[in-house]
A and B are shown apart, each in its own frame.
Chain A
């Protein structure tokens, strides 16, 4: 603790004391000018870092806020005779108000649109300052007197101290703010706006406040700028200054007060650097040396030269060449900024201080602040013993265009129950919980929580009403630690107003929130990882962290959306333990889950969805034996009659020990199988077993992490999807992925892309093939000019198969051709697959409906938890009990 205070706070104190003492020791007005500018730019860059670093947006309006603040402060003094402090206050408020005004419309946007909005705003500001000549003197420039501070005229030295004091105050206030719930909220909404809303934090007002705050600092710096230079011109605040400011923040290091300070030093020294030739040569030489060094080290590590390594070397070399060739470096100023900024953005994205902080903490091993004792669980999540109905859904519908994802669901969730929601892929489970949690507004129907209507279509409002959720695709705040992730969501923990937070007086509630969050981390078994950044945690831990975060909302209703997806076996057992513990606390839970064993172990009641409707309800045991459920999962339950042919010939596709997954989650864990020339091979297994992942890994949509894929004897696992397609593998993907805006015929033509001439004459050459496809699918011919998006689901599936056939492939991968289709259409699709089989096409078929798949296949593999569990002739597998249990637990 002492070491921490000495090193961290000591360094800050020392820097400020040193800076304050320099004018006493050195009597040089030029140096004093630079120091003053350093303090002003320090404030400015700390403000810019809020939007660029914490919000993660490219903000091109900060120079404009500097200008607005400068003119506002200057005019108050010149027109109304304001004193120093009131004038600075006006500057600050100007930044705050204009920042807020711009933020309201602009922050609904992200990325490029935000950059454009801020760019336009700054252009507008410069135009206005130029054109309002009556007030601002326009391009002539405005002369400003330095106002009195409480009746005292400040000399250069005193003015420097004023700037330094303001920098120190800004520094302290920002430090307090950024380490509070506000700072966490800023980072949270950068990493995942959806989760921020779902945790009841409110994306919008935090974004607006952050931006307004940053702009206010810009305005304050503007006031100081005006009283420092005592002369203002609109054209000082244009695009070029903006680029320099960005250079400062990026080079110094984002999300760091020290980074902003280092950036400010750099900006202040830049003009000197450029005007002194030898200095410039030395600096560019050092830059080149560092880039080369990093290049050599990188090359020795990876054995290849990546763009990230090569680009800084080239641009630094250009800088060195420039320093030797160019006569007047001042003229090439912008190009020099560009080269420097380019090397940093590419080669050192975390900036100088980001890099230095990493090295320094390693060097001094500063211990983190100790964590408080965890609160007792009973206090954080008091045990509930309510009875009766908690959630009632009445005829809830959600349609997307013609697709009825949820089509009239009425269900009731009892208080204290763990309520399972299951169903095959595409049955509407996720859409239903997305409607409940407010991500989507329902198309029709009522939702009531404890008898009160739930807000519709707002994650934030639903969250405030007492519903918390996790996400199927993780939505963690990846840059925050596990503890902070939970703290963001802590309901009712933060009551101190903003001024108190800025003054650092919210320490107590911060400690309390930490203790509460720790208790929840203990509940999910992550107390030891409290300091680890979410993105550095293993996949299973990330899943559990999301649960802990949702619990921090103290929800009335907890929704867990496929918490076991992608979990390894031991983690799945942990999950069961965690859900049971949540159940013991009496928290009502809706659990979407594919793993039937999880459902069987933890659920009190289960609802089964299919095609957007409820097909069964009851206890897990009842549901498992329900014939409609078995049919929904396995396909038509009549006695299977297979038409398998013996395998002959060689393996066209061979897969050896294939591993693949998404980020930290490994879905395929060593699958090996073969597809023989001319055979139809089925790959079946429960949802989440890795079927689709296997298909994606085979066709190159997903890079396998380990293992081999041999197509016709050639290794293809490292190739791009387009290269694999050219080798004769056609993949009709899950969800069909037809080109919606293009016509049916264009979709088919693109299927044959690799074989056709690219500019002229392709239509003629493709004619014969098109006719073949149209013979197979007459309905496609009728609709050949129609946009593919207007087709029905079944027709779209036909189109996807037809498109794959157009390539004349060696092998076709068909992924879930029956998904989301009505039973009649499913039969039709399988009839087509049978026809293709007779014509001798090699096929790998992934299917949810195991029975239908086994009927057409010559050979089959059952995938369980990412590897092949059973294989054999279809008629044997159809009788195998283990196949059924792979699906229904």
Chain B
């Protein structure tokens, strides 16, 4: 019984990382109905850049904002190179284009930093502590704190600043927002910037646990997709709940069935969710119009 709890809790904490990446999908989906299929590469590239900064001697707590800034820039690049044209043409070309840009980023990372995994130093200790008989490491806790605070800050931004309200206005009705003098184009850029920042945060938080390498995000991203689809692309609360659930589930699956099957529950859940609730558990149904 203890083992189940132990596995469940540490899995759930990892699940928060999926939730954070999925939240990044929601940000861009809200403004532009598009998502970055190369988001995993953004996570990985930001982690590598952050690691490089640490290696150059930048202190950890200065590296964090610098890393986030790099994430913002990468997000903006994706928007300009892969998304804007397709949105102007009202096509779904962005799916293929973001995949392509991600592939380029992957290859670049492979050649610049090599194919090996590197450890990611962190000042936060990884000695386990006991909570109600369950072992939790401060690093794992830092993931939870980091994820929830970033998401909280962005939600605060959306609700408490006029900029944020403009962001919500574009999500609700793009044409009407334009009539208020809000530039939809800039808001979409903002959403990609924020989404890049969120990806960078995910990279920085998860790297001490997974180590940094070109393939570090390929499994992560599949599960983030699963979380985003199962929760629906609208509800920030939904991704946290589903993220925790899926994290716990896969950790138990790998314990009881075999570690190779670790990814399977998320993928099956995703296909099932798409089949039964295409708008997600927390999503709303849409009305067809002609």
Contacts and interface: CB of A to CB of B under 8 A. Distances in A.
Contacts of B180: 722, 725, 750-751, 753-754, 803, 807
A365 interface: no
B178 A105 contact: no
Contacts of A119: 222, 225
A106 B274 contact: yes
Contact of A109 (B103, B104, B278, B288): B278
A699 B92 CA distance: 28
Nearest to A740: B172
Interface stretch (B120-128, B141-149, B256-264): B256-264
Given A127-B261, A307-B85, A334-B106, A400 B173 contact: no
Nearest to A763: B162
A266 interface: no
B200 to A, nearest CB: 21
B84 to A, nearest CB: 7
Q: Identify whether the interface residues of A are mostly helix, strand, loop, or mixed.
A: helix
Contacts of B5: none
Contacts of A326: 111
Interface in A679-728: 699-701, 720-723, 725-726
B179 A701 contact: yes
A112 B270 contact: no
A117 interface: yes
Contacts of A335: 103-104, 107-108, 111
Interface stretch (A648-656, A730-738, A863-871): A730-738
Interface string B72-103: 00000000010011000000110111011101
Contacts of B183: 720, 722
Contacts of A250: 96
B73 to A, nearest CB: 18
B268 to A, nearest CB: 7
A660 to B, nearest CB: 15
Interface stretch (B11-19, B132-140, B163-171): B163-171
Contacts of A739: 168-169, 172-173, 176-177
Interface stretch (A350-358, A467-475, A602-610): A467-475
A123 B103 contact: no
Contacts of B103: 243, 334-335, 337-338
B115 to A, nearest CB: 9
Nearest to A125: B267
B161 interface: yes
Contacts of A332: 107, 111
Contacts of B84: 307
B176 A737 contact: yes
B107 A333 contact: yes
A113 B273 CA distance: 11
Interface stretch (A160-168, A273-281, A339-347, A816-824): A339-347
Contacts of B181: 722-723, 725-726, 753-754, 807
Interface stretch (A418-426, A535-543, A741-749, A778-786): A741-749
A434 to B, nearest CB: 7
Nearest to B34: A112
A803 B169 CA distance: 13
Interface string A362-385: 000000000000000000000000
A294 interface: no
A331 interface: yes
A116 B290 contact: no
Given A123-B263, A342-B101, A749-B165, A725 B178 contact: yes
Interface string B269-290: 0111011101000000001101
The 4 closest A-B pairs by CB, nearest first: A105-B275, A335-B107, A725-B181, A334-B107
